[in-house]
């Protein structure tokens, strides 16, 4: 009897991809950027991304970092294009919610860098629940 690969549990294979040296460094960088744990991010990626997307994460990340497409400086600081288009961790609504929070913090007098860090924490909480 033949077993098809798509009928199997691919968690082990996805985990193997994510612990390879380049992928591991990238996952650690994204987790640090979003203020969350590495294992939490790995679990989210395994549950929500397919094998093709996982294999291409480093190239997509590099392309997203170089994309000058975002005109809004706050959106660029938050990583709107990177985290919605290149590495689709968040929906547009999630990003827009974090951007709205950033705008309100900045208008309250919080420095933009601090508001950006808090905005990324808001995004990290989307993943961690």
- Give the Cα separation of 52 and 21 in Å (integer): 17
Domain that holds residue 74: 10-128
Locate 91 and state its tokens. Answer: 């929906």
Nearest to 44 by CA among 3, 94, 5: 94
- Per residue in 83-101, pLDDT (tens digit) is 999 999 999 999 999 999 9
The counts of H helices and E strands in the chain are 9, 0
pLDDT at 7 over 70: no
Helix (H, G, I), strand (E, B) or coil at 91: coil
Q: How many domains does the chain fold into?
A: 1
| More confident of the two residues 114 and 68 | 114
Note the helical H segments in 79-128.
Answer: 80-81, 92-107, 112-128
- Asked whether residue 3 is domain-assigned, the answer is no
* For range 19-43, the mean pLDDT: 96
Residue 2 inside a domain? The answer is no
Mean pLDDT, the chain, whole residue set:
91
């Amino acid at each position: 009897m033949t077993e098809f690969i798509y009928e199997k549990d691919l968690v082990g294979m996805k985990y193997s991809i994510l612990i390879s040296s380049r992928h591991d460094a990238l996952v650690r960088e994204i987790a640090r950027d979003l203020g969350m744990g590495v294992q939490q991010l790995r679990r989210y990626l395994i549950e929500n991304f397919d094998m093709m997307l996982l294999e291409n994460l480093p190239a997509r990340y590099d392309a997203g970092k170089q994309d000058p497409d975002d005109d809004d400086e706050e959106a660029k600081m938050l990583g709107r294009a990177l985290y919605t288009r290149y590495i689709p961790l968040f929906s547009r609504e999630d990003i827009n919610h974090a951007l709205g929070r950033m705008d309100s913090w900045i208008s309250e007098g919080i420095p933009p860098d601090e508001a950006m860090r808090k905005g990324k924490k808001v995004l990290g909480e989307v993943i961690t629940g």
